[in-house]
A and B are shown apart, each in its own frame.
Chain A
Amino acid sequence: MTTIATEVNEVEGKVALVTGAASGIGRAIAELLHARGAKVVAEDIDPAVTELARDGLVTLVADITAEGTAEKAVALALGSFGRLDILVNNAGRILYKNLVDMSREDWNWQMETNVTGAFLHSREAAKAMMPNRSGSIVNIASYASYFAFPGIAAYTASKGALAQLTRTQALEAIEHGIRVNAIGVGDVVTNLLNHFRDDGREFLAEHGRKAPIGRAADPVEIAEIVAFLASERASFIVGSVVMADGGMSVPIG
């Protein structure tokens, strides 16, 4: 018998692993889940993630794509909190380069950061969740999972791959009671672009004004969707990509 909760604090007592948690969307997710009563492992390649450490929140400084990182992260969740209920594959980067200027190294770097890291963490997390016959994996995809923009071919390809990874793992994992879903995020004011432009945050805020809703998202708005998808309220949502783009994709799709 499935019990369906309707209240908002259902992540109380759950254990979550969040990648890319040092800043932006990942940090908002780690903080929201923790504030709602979850125990959290916050992982990032950026050592600043250690500043998040507090009671019920441990940190891991690691490269999601490196061999053994996913195993280490899951082991940390099990070792610190005894189980793993929620994985959020949030870590991601963006490469801004026209296709004709893109090297094989560029392409591989983008795929590694946005897809391979999620694959490895999803594989290890699912193995840890299977004995419990429950769990929820949420992948942070993009409206670029479906919609194309010039200059970011590797990014759109990687986010498209992440959406299909989500859908296929959803089919395999539901057999074990594990739900896998994604969020197709639009413009969110984060440091995503800061590695190639100084005004990255302002650019995202400005670009977000083109969305029908008229603004970019605050990271916490994405974190709320994670909290919903990870909860029992979403118990029949399997393999969905919940678009959260302020309507950016509505006029073009």
Chain B
Amino acid sequence: MSDEFDGKIVLVTGAGSGIGQEAVRSFAERGALVYAADLNAKGLAATADLVASTGGTVRSAHLDVADETAVADLLARIATEAGRLDAAFNNAGITGSTHLLEDYPTEDFDRVLRVNLRSIFLAMKYELRLMKPAGSGTIVNTASVAALTGPGGMSAYAASKHGVHGLTRVAAMENASHNIRINALAPGWTETPMVAANSAQNPAFAELARKAIPAKRGAHPKEIAAAAVWLSSSQASYVFGQMIVVDGGMTIGGFEP
């Protein structure tokens, strides 16, 4: 049985590590030609090696996803080389530094919004220009449980992820009649290199955070990537304009009564 992603053209941003890297692997294993975008050239090389070892086709794109010219150039390259874009997983993001709001360095705030929110705006802006004339496509944007909650010290991150949710809903509504299905993904605590680096700085906090998750563990990046690939597939054909929460139960409630 042939896989529905066989021969499909897919773009994944934040593809050099964690969730994005696993998504590239999964799309490529299923036969897609994957454009893997990241600012981290070393990470991109690791992703390419991984795909080479498991089988599949990946084309690396080294760029800053918040730079409009770079994003426009990437989508122009995809248009030239592949002629279309079937699925996009806009996943690049950073957590930013942790400070109380009144102490939050404004330049850090701007940087987090730039990488997490502006990047998704730009990605969709140019992806839609490719998908709309084709009359089909799927987009999945990585938000976070911080799109639903107010994590202390993370004003920039939470604001950016709430923004991703809003952008997703607007884009979904605007493109409903063009057969383009757009959703967001809200991962909870995920053991990505980004989170591991933060955990190493504050292991006690990381341990407490894991214990507070009903599943009593963080997610493997594969578990988040699996949801992204599923949302991109025809198996999610009636899921539209939604944000799918993949958090081990973190946002259900869960405090002892």
> Are A and B genuine complex partners?
yes
Contact between A213 and B227, CB atoms less than 8 A apart? no
Whether A242 and B242, one on each chain, are in contact in the complex, defined by CB atoms closer than 8 angstroms, is yes
- Contacting pair B29 A234 (CB below 8 A): no
Check if A170 is an interface residue, CB within 8 A of chain B.
yes
CB distance from A214 to the nearest CB of B (A): 7
Are the CB atoms of B177 and A225 closer together than 8 Å? no
Enumerate chain B residues within 8 angstroms of A20, measured Cβ to Cβ.
none
Distance (whole angstroms) from the CB of A20 to the closest CB of chain B: 19
Candidate in A170, A225, A233, A237 with the most chain B CB atoms within 10 angstroms:
A237
- Interface stretch, picked from B73-81, B100-108, B135-143, B247-255, is B247-255
Residues of A within 8 A of B29 (CB): 6
List A contacts of B241 (CB < 8 A): 212, 247, 249-250
Give the number of chain A interface residues (Cβ < 8 Å).
39
Check B176–A213 contact: CB distance below 8 A: yes
For chain B, residues 197 to 250, give those with C-beta under 8 angstroms from any C-beta of chain A.
214-215, 219-220, 222-224, 226-227, 229-230, 235-242, 244-249
Q: A146 to B245: give the CA distance in the assembly, Å.
A: 16
Is there a chain B Cβ closer than 8 Å to A228's Cβ?
Answer: yes
Which of B222, B236, B253 touches A4 (beta carbons < 8 Å)? Answer: B222
| Chain A residues, Cβ within 8 Å of B227 | 233-234, 237
B194 in the interface (beta carbon within 8 A): no
Q: Does A193 contact B (CB under 8 A)?
A: no
On whether the beta carbons of B238 and A236 are closer than 8 Å, the reply is no
A contact residues around B238 at 8 Å (CB): 186, 213, 217, 221-222, 225, 244-246
- How many contacting A-B pairs (Cβ < 8 A)? 117
Most buried by A among B173, B188, B252: B252
Our pick among A8, A234, A239 for the contact of B249 (Cβ within 8 Å) is: A239
Q: Choose among B173, B235, B240 the residue that contacts A245 (Cβ–Cβ < 8 A).
A: B240
Task: Check A243 against B226 for contact (C-beta < 8 Å).
Answer: no
A4 vs B191: C-alpha distance when bound (angstroms): 14
Per the CB 8 Å criterion, the residue count for chain B at the interface is 37
CB of B257, distance to nearest CB on chain A (Å): 10
Interface: B113 (CB within 8 A): no
Please report the C-alpha to C-alpha distance between residue A6 and residue B229 in the assembled complex, in whole angstroms: 9
Q: Are B239 and A225 in contact, with the CB atoms below 8 A?
A: yes
Contact A247:B172 (CB < 8 A) given known A225-B236, A234-B227: yes
Asked if B169 is an interface residue, CB under 8 A from chain A, the answer is: yes
Residue A240 CB within 8 A of the other chain: yes
Q: A214-B176, A225-B238, A239-B214 are in contact. List 15 more A-B contacts (CB 8 A).
A: A168-B253, A212-B172, A212-B173, A212-B176, A212-B241, A214-B177, A221-B237, A225-B236, A233-B223, A233-B226, A236-B246, A238-B214, A242-B239, A243-B239, A247-B172
List 15 A–B pairs whose Cβ atoms lie within 8 Å, in order of A's numbering. Answer: A170-B214, A186-B238, A212-B172, A213-B181, A213-B238, A222-B238, A236-B220, A237-B227, A238-B214, A240-B244, A240-B245, A240-B246, A245-B240, A247-B172, A247-B173
Kindly list the 5 A-B residue pairs having the minimum CB-CB distance in the complex, ordered from nearest: A238-B249, A212-B176, A250-B241, A247-B240, A239-B252
Taking beta carbons and an 8 Å cutoff, which residues of A are in contact with B? 2, 4, 6, 8, 167-168, 170-171, 174-175, 186, 211-214, 217, 221-222, 224-225, 227-228, 233-240, 242-247, 249-251
